[in-house]
A = this chain, B = another copy of it.
Amino acid sequence: MAGNSDRQGQSVTSRAFALLGAFDVAHPRLTLTDMARRAGLPVATAHRLAAELEAWRALDRDVDGCYRIGLRLWEAGLLAPVSSRLREIALPFLQDLYEANRENVHLAVRDGFDTLYVEKLAGHRSVPILSRIGARLPLHATGVGKALLAHAEPAFVQAYCERPLPRCTRYTIAERGRLLRELSLTRERGWAQTSEEMSLGSCSVAVPVFDDAGGAPTAALAFVIHTNRADLAKLVPALTSAAAGIASRLAEAREADAS
């Protein structure tokens, strides 16, 4: 690391990425000062690094001088497997699900203790929902999350349940014993459901996507619908069939990598 560190003992690369990490959904546009403060860097350092990030278009600037995440970073990010592989393979299946039912369709993966949303299809008639692409929500409060958690390694489930379980609505299952019973039921039944556990007025039904034998699911698929339209079990066969289609395409792609 010689020549690659400054007085703060932080590498140049990690400081450049600290600037990128200053942006989030609540802060998609930042002045230089705010960006430096959120990244924990002196303004002069932030200014110099921002110029380099701007040259690569990892950052772009608005006409008023505010910084935003740049176009080239978006393009590079699309090459991550979650987008270039999972999302690309799943999209026509999601589209068919949407077309047949006209309800919100979600695709999510597990990352750490979070449900991470990879795709979300919605029309103007769908129930408004909290998730957007890239959103993170608690596993135990979402349908996709329960489908992922129900089939995770037992040690992971234990670690998850030992942490405080946030209560998103008054219907969220936030007691450890109840959650474990719910996960067990989810495994037996083959699909997960929620009823106003993440947002009042909406419920969901979800299935896991397995792309290899025996492991944890790669992803989960869900419909999220108005509570008063809820006939969740009726939506399961379409989800199961889409999940099988996606799983088989993912397995093909993995074999192509290996060869």
Task: Please give the residue numbers on chain A whose beta carbons come within 8 Å of chain B beta carbons, in ascending order.
Answer: 1, 3-4, 6, 11-14, 16-17, 20-21, 23-25, 28-29, 48-49, 52-53, 55-56, 58, 60, 62, 68-71, 73-85, 88, 91-93, 95-96, 98-99, 102, 111, 116, 121-124, 126, 132-134, 257
A14 contact set on B, CB distance < 8 A = 52, 55-56
A102 contact set on B, CB distance < 8 A = 99
A93 contact set on B, CB distance < 8 A = 124
**What's the Cα separation between A132 and B88 when bound, in Å?**
8
**What's the Cα separation between A159 and B93 when bound, in Å?**
42
Copies of this chain, whole number: 2
Chain B residue, CB-CB nearest to A17? B56
Q: How far is the CB of A70 from chain B (nearest CB, A)?
A: 6
Contact B25 A92 (CB under 8 A): no
**What's the Cα separation between A8 and B181 when bound, in Å?**
60
Contact B71 A73 (CB under 8 A): no
Contact A60 B74 (CB under 8 A): no
